[in-house]
A and B are shown apart, each in its own frame.
Chain A
């Protein structure tokens, strides 16, 4: 079994075992192959010494250079921040109304804003900024408080009805039903009128009665033509966009209980440059309003 012998045909030593008469030749490896193999072992040992590799009880070996993937990540982050610094500096210097004069900077601001939006805003406004019931859609052409860059920046910085910010945008719709300013029947009539404004139901007798109720109670904020007003963030009631829904039930609910959405004053959490970038991003979503023309304010 273990008797090595020389195979006559090939003049090669055998491995000393055989199966059914077949013997294995001890064909030598080429020397270069063996040396390559040894070199690989040496490399592996060197690698284990240089890099963190051996797991111990609480932590692993540190490697001779102290390299860590976290350290590398931190260095990359630092390099990235250094690369972005000039852009951020330029953005800090540029008043937001001058942004459109610099398309390059705007593009970068929009990209930065997109990232900041994903972190801070999607929770309420959704990943595509399309909002949902009670949370405004930022893509459309309807703005409660104004859709120019400066308006958006102001909203972002100070929030809406946000306690603790004395410049926050604020307004309060009375709870007409809940506080018994209007009777339930009057609320129904007012709802009929409001729905008829955007063609959701015909202008019947109820709507006629509702028009009178509207003239007494609602024009102060929503305006005589019901087109809303931006100084109060009062929604335009004649268009097809409903922040809290346009079904009869939803409109009646809005008049009865009133809604007062709150948005945080992001100026307390984010730096002015990030807010500028967010404003540029929101403005770029397709509904942004012109910078130059002053925003017409409905009385």
Chain B
């Protein structure tokens, strides 16, 4: 297991800071946040990060606007979490509350997916796809756009508060605010019809919960993404702690090859020219040359930076590179580096992949074979049976007919068992008692109906079944086994 520096701070202390940023004498009780001013960098990983960010944001902002025709009985939004009606719509799939295991399954897949990604490519989730990373990156670009690159930002941070600085800060924070409100604003569209809600939001007629959700998410985005930034990764997030336990010598992590770089310095013989560019571009403010540490989110911007410098100084790239500890040791001993594609596939990755796919297949199977109608029967237990004046025995049941399709469906309820038994519903008279009831259940509805079953005198306690059949073209049959209670000995 790679041992990560759990504090993340000493490394920062060792790194030469601009003199103005040197920690001021402090009480020892607390430490002031040391701002990070990452420098702009270009390179293949930076471009990958741009790509991932674009995809993530596009998915986040556009998903609620995808339409999906479900006819007149269900919402036309492709992905919708309809809390009020307790439905979850995802394209052609509609999840009912009792099918929540699908959501649980997806969450388990998401969990194992994180393990899988960690096992294969280290902390790639942290570096590229984590919302905290995506939004922090966004805010850091806004910083550069308003205040210039690293050095200009540092100068401005240390400059006295003049009207000019205040104006710059206020305009920057206004853009922050815009991003935050857009972040919170996009979230609510997952829970209601997006075009309707958008219109309501802008005309001031949306429900209060929509505005408060926007406000809360805007606030947390501003706080966590705009100001806390890397501190969330270092102090708050539990995931790096779990990940550091999951990383092993076969995990791809960002590694500084000290045997190649040291001793540092222009004329000292090592490849590292000690330009500090790798530290300057780091969005969490660490120096990768101190080794693997909790502050490293493996975004690989330091690799981009170092590769650029190596190209300029005419040395081979990869002084800082994605590598496994195992491979790193081999390389130190003189072997050529193994390709990343090869390193990804090892036993743990395959096990996670197997588990992940097994759950996925099970979910798909369950999804494909589920019935779109359901029945549930609750038998009256108090009293369990009723003796009628002619000696016949009556039991009562609450039968729920459930139509899980987005159109009304005709259904038939049939009594299975006890040949002489008949049933009637609370809406009919006992005189119309029969063995088959038909009803049309409205789209997406559960209809409870109290059913009385009467059996001739002398009937003993025995099993009884109710069968619900959809009588439309699609069809489908479900059965519920329950019991018919009778007095002992027939009387």
Interface of A with B (CB < 8 Å)? Answer: 9-13, 26-34, 126-130, 137, 139-142, 236, 239-241, 284, 286, 290
Residues from chain A with Cβ under 8 Å of B228 in the complex: 32
Write out the residue numbers on chain B whose beta carbons fall within 8 Å of the beta carbon of A126: 382-383
A140 and B28 within 8 A (CB)? no
| Alpha-carbon separation in the docked complex, A128 to B384 (Å) | 9
Chain B residues within 8 Å of A, Cβ to Cβ = 7, 9-10, 13, 26, 28-33, 228, 231, 235, 380-383, 386-391, 394, 396, 426, 429-430, 452, 457, 491
Instruction: Give chain A residues whose Cβ lies under 8 Å from the Cβ of B452.
Output: 286
Cβ of A288 to closest chain B Cβ, rounded Å: 10
21 A-B pairs with CB atoms under 8 Å apart are A9-B10, A11-B10, A29-B31, A30-B31, A31-B31, A31-B33, A34-B30, A126-B383, A127-B382, A128-B380, A130-B382, A139-B386, A140-B386, A140-B389, A141-B389, A141-B430, A142-B388, A240-B491, A241-B389, A286-B394, A286-B452
Kindly provide the distance from the CB of B179 to the nearest chain A CB, expressed in whole angstroms. 21
Least distance between A17 CB and chain B CB atoms (Å): 15
Tell me if A240 and B390 are in contact (CB < 8 A). Answer: yes
Interchain nearest-CB distance for A236 vs B (Å): 7
Structural contact, B29 and A29, CB atoms closer than 8 A: yes
Residues of B within 8 A of A129 (CB): 383
A236 engages B383 (CB within 8 Å):
no
Query: Which residues of B are found within 8 Å of A142, using beta-carbon distances?
Result: 388-389
B485–chain A nearest beta-carbon distance, Å? 12
Please determine whether B388 and A240 come into contact, CB atoms closer than 8 angstroms.
yes
Q: How far is the CA of A11 from the CA of B381 in the complex (A)?
A: 74
> Shortest distance in angstroms between A67's beta carbon and chain B's nearest beta carbon?
22
Beyond contacts A240-B389, A284-B426: 7 other A-B pairs, Cβ-Cβ < 8 A, are A28-B30, A31-B33, A128-B383, A130-B383, A139-B383, A140-B386, A141-B389
**Total contacts A to B, CB within 8 angstroms?**
81
Contact B386 A31, beta carbon cutoff 8 Å: no
CA distance A32 to B35 in the complex (A): 13
Q: Are B387 and A241 in contact (CB under 8 A)?
A: yes
Residues on the B chain within 8 Å of A128, using CB: 380-383
Q: Are B13 and A11 in touch, CB under 8 angstroms?
A: yes
Q: Which chain A residues border B491 with CB–CB below 8 Å?
A: 240
The smallest C-beta distance from A106 to any residue of chain B, in angstroms, reads 11
B13's nearest neighbour on chain A, judged by CB, is: A11
Which residue of A is nearest B382, CB measured?
A128
Q: How far is the CA of A119 from the CA of B388 in the complex (A)?
A: 27
In order of increasing CB-CB distance, the 6 nearest A-B pairs are A128-B382, A239-B389, A130-B383, A28-B31, A240-B391, A10-B10
Contacts of B390 in A (CB 8 A): 239-240
Q: Which B residue sits closest to A13, measured CB to CB?
A: B28
A155–B25 Cα gap in the complex (Å)? 89
Chain A residue numbers with a CB within 8 Å of B429 are: 290
Q: B387 contacts A240, CB within 8 Å?
A: yes
